[in-house]
A and B are shown apart, each in its own frame.
Chain A
Amino acid sequence: MMIAMGRYLIKRIFISILTLLVIVLIMFILMNAMPGSPFTGKHLKADQLLVLNQKYGLDRPLLERYFRYLSCMIRGDFGVSYNIQKNMSITRMLQVRLPLTIRIGLQAMVLGTILGLLLGILSALKHGTFLDPLVSALSMLGSSIPSFVFALGLMYFIAYKAGFLPLLYTMDAPGESTILPSIALAMFPMASIARLTRSEMISVLSSDYILLARSKGVPESGIIFRHALRNALVPVLTIMAPMLVELITGSMVVENIFAVPGLGTLFVTAVQSNDYNVSITIMFLYSAFYISAMLIVDILYGYVDPRIRLAKGRS
């Protein structure tokens, strides 16, 4: 079984790399098709532009540029920025921004998952009391209100009115500055996980094997944590991957609102100013996050549900 799992992993990683190559190609084609160029100063004359294009290799055919870029990427060189921070290497540009975005995203994911599971389990156990409709209403709001509305609400009430946390990102308090953006981003995962966990727990708790466990005399805590939760988690894991997409797109908006100097903010600027290398690199990173997260969810899935693990081993 371990061998089958290893072979499966190798196959998945190979497909992931191919996917990433295609994504970079699509980015090349799209950026090329966009009107304008990275060099748009009014004072630039035609011959100066020619020199600039030659200098950065932008006069070469698209495919040649693509393969040249790929060969640099393998060596860890993502090129330089054309106009945001002129001639600065992108690897250096991302040194501060990448950890910041990852930190906010992870905090949001962890917060959303823990709160979502707690609320879901609680409302399933208190099924039929006032708590249950309360959690249902909360998760409805959480999944239907977009993250930027939460962001603005948090800014107004917590940062501005109560003065608890920084309104905008500040270098003086980098840790505290990530809290509000994380909370804003956590709302959606929290709401979806709470809703699904609740309905799954309710259906699992009324299943025959829970009755069997009760007939064995398993105490209520054992019923919930040893028997019910694991079975209820299987479907919850399936929605984790699509939720990551929401986190990524949500982070672009939320980072901009809180003026967080992260990937999201940079990506928006880069696309607007035709800074090809920066946009391609960030898109590449986003895709790599997403693909590896999917892979992790997939492996976890097999770990939680033995039926899936074995079916995979056979194929």
Chain B
Amino acid sequence: MKDKNALEIHDLEISFETSRGTAQIIRRVSLEAERGKTLAIVGESGSGKSVTVKSIMALLPDQARIEGGEIWLQGRPGEEEPINLTSLSKEQVMKTVNGRRISMVFQDPLSVLNPTMKVGKQIMEGMLLHGDLNRKEAKERAIHLLDDVGIRDSRLCMDQYPHQLSGGMRQRAAIAIALSGGADILILDEPTTALDVTVQKKILDLLQRLQKEHSLTAILITHDLGVVAKMADTVSVMYAGQIVESGTSRDIFFHPAHPYTWGLLSSIPDSGTKHLLSIPGNPPDLSRPIKGDAFAPRNAYALKEDFASEPPLIPLSGTHSVKSRLYQDGKRPDLPKELKEKIERIQKEASHGR
């Protein structure tokens, strides 16, 4: 694995045993998360973003099976060799990786905290499991963490139960829990989707500050492109269990290449949009085998070959690649006119903002 990366996924394949047969949920996904940076995984619900990150932490349900591929976790600087997580048992991942190296912030802060355990105890649990602190030191560190995530009366909060906190406070407490074991990779699974708009920005600001202070690598899952624009360094766009386009944040927002990415960008409202576009149709049913390109039936730009076989992954630059035949043989098709105008508008607004 590359030295600059904290985590790499190579050709991951995951299937789910369902009542209607085996569903190929993740179909050869490869990702790279650079150390200290934020990788965003974007896509509609059901595209497999959540399954991909859960597989890193061995949190998949029993009916899921990793069929192939590797997940490489970088060793801590100067200490350990990289580990292939798929070669470890569930118990080993729980013991050596979860909380200690990688931790997760979940979508719904209302259901993610244990309702019968005090907040303080839930934060201290991770420290006592992974560090060599005694109870008193852990308690002091937990109070410090609560201060750090912006909870005002941190000592009181230690002795409170989750239902005594507001949604935003609970998400802050959940972030403190994620930091409690000393992990250097933070997986953010739609961290602001369930929060009020006013709270969303505060939580994102908090996450950015913490990421810088603790030099964390973040893997952000979201379908909110506004969040991606604010947080991400690199972006991977996922559709039907595959990565269809990946690149830097600039690549994806200013030079989107895949028709699916075009669709996603066209469907965000902005000040100049007259009518919002949406992507027609629905994502495919993955419990049936998919022939050709999964996106072809919804794709106005689909070619005849796309219905017969999967398009190859084509590199557009050192950072940018796309899974589409439109770019074969060095061809570079133009963006749809409306989207082009929209991007120019956003670029202009962004440069004014600075």
Q: Which residues of A contact B (CB under 8 A)?
A: 128, 206-209, 211-220, 222, 226-227, 230-231, 234, 304-307, 310
Contact = CB atoms under 8 A, between A and B. Distances in A.
B62 interface: yes
Contacts of A227: 114, 117
Given A128-B62, A208-B108, A307-B163, A215 B98 contact: yes
A217 B115 contact: no
A310 B165 CA distance: 13
B94 interface: yes
A214 B113 CA distance: 12
Contacts, number: 90
Contact of A305 (B111, B116, B125): B116
B106 A208 contact: yes
Given A231-B114, A307-B115, A217 B94 contact: yes
B59 A217 contact: no
Contact of A216 (B91, B116, B126, B164): B126
A216 B174 CA distance: 11
A306 B115 contact: yes
Interface of B: 57-59, 61-62, 91, 94-95, 97-100, 103-104, 106, 108, 111-117, 125-126, 129-130, 161, 163-164, 174, 177-178, 180-181
Given A216-B103, A220-B91, 16 more contacts: A209-B111, A209-B115, A211-B59, A212-B106, A212-B177, A213-B125, A214-B94, A215-B104, A217-B130, A219-B94, A226-B117, A306-B161, A307-B115, A307-B163, A310-B161, A310-B163
23 contacts: A128-B62, A209-B113, A212-B104, A212-B106, A214-B98, A215-B59, A215-B178, A216-B99, A216-B103, A216-B129, A216-B181, A217-B181, A218-B94, A218-B99, A219-B94, A219-B95, A219-B129, A226-B117, A226-B125, A230-B117, A231-B114, A234-B116, A304-B116
Residue of B58, B108, B125 with most chain A CB atoms under a 10 A cut-off: B125
Contact of B116 (A218, A222, A230): A230
A216 B161 contact: no
A203 to B, nearest CB: 12
Contact of A215 (B103, B116, B163): B103
Return the 10 tightest CB-CB contacts between A and B, nearest first. A217-B99, A217-B98, A216-B99, A215-B104, A208-B111, A209-B114, A306-B161, A216-B126, A208-B112, A230-B116
A209 B177 contact: no
A212 B114 CA distance: 9
A207 B164 CA distance: 20
A216 B106 contact: no
A213 B114 contact: yes
Contacts of A305: 115-116
B115 A231 contact: yes
B45 to A, nearest CB: 16
A298 to B, nearest CB: 17
Contacts of A307: 115, 161, 163
A81 B180 CA distance: 69
A216 B114 contact: no
A306 B160 CA distance: 10
A230 B114 CA distance: 10
A219 B89 CA distance: 13
Nearest to A233: B116
Contacts of B58: 214
A235 B14 CA distance: 36
A215 B106 CA distance: 10
Given A304-B116, A307-B115, A216 B108 contact: no
Contact of B174 (A128, A206, A212, A219): A212
B331 to A, nearest CB: 44
A184 B212 CA distance: 65
A211 B62 CA distance: 13
A201 to B, nearest CB: 14
Contact of B126 (A206, A217, A304): A217
A216 B59 contact: no
Contacts of A310: 161, 163-164
A216 B115 contact: no
A210 to B, nearest CB: 8
B121 to A, nearest CB: 9
Q: Which of B114, B125, B178 has the most CB of A within 10 A?
A: B114
A306 B91 CA distance: 31
Contacts of A220: 91, 94
Nearest to B54: A211
Contacts of A306: 115-116, 161, 163
B115 A215 contact: no
Contact of A217 (B112, B113, B114, B129): B129
B59 A214 contact: yes
A240 to B, nearest CB: 18
A222 B57 CA distance: 17
Contacts of A218: 94, 99, 125, 129
Contacts of A212: 104, 106, 112-114, 174, 177
A215 B57 contact: yes
Nearest to A311: B163
Nearest to B161: A306
A231 B180 CA distance: 23
A213 B114 CA distance: 9
Contacts of B100: 217
Nearest to A234: B116
Question: Which of the listed residues A213, A220, A305 has the most CB atoms from chain B within 10 Å of its own CB?
Answer: A213
Contacts of B57: 214-215
B112 A209 contact: yes
A215 B97 CA distance: 9
A217 B95 contact: yes
Nearest to B62: A128
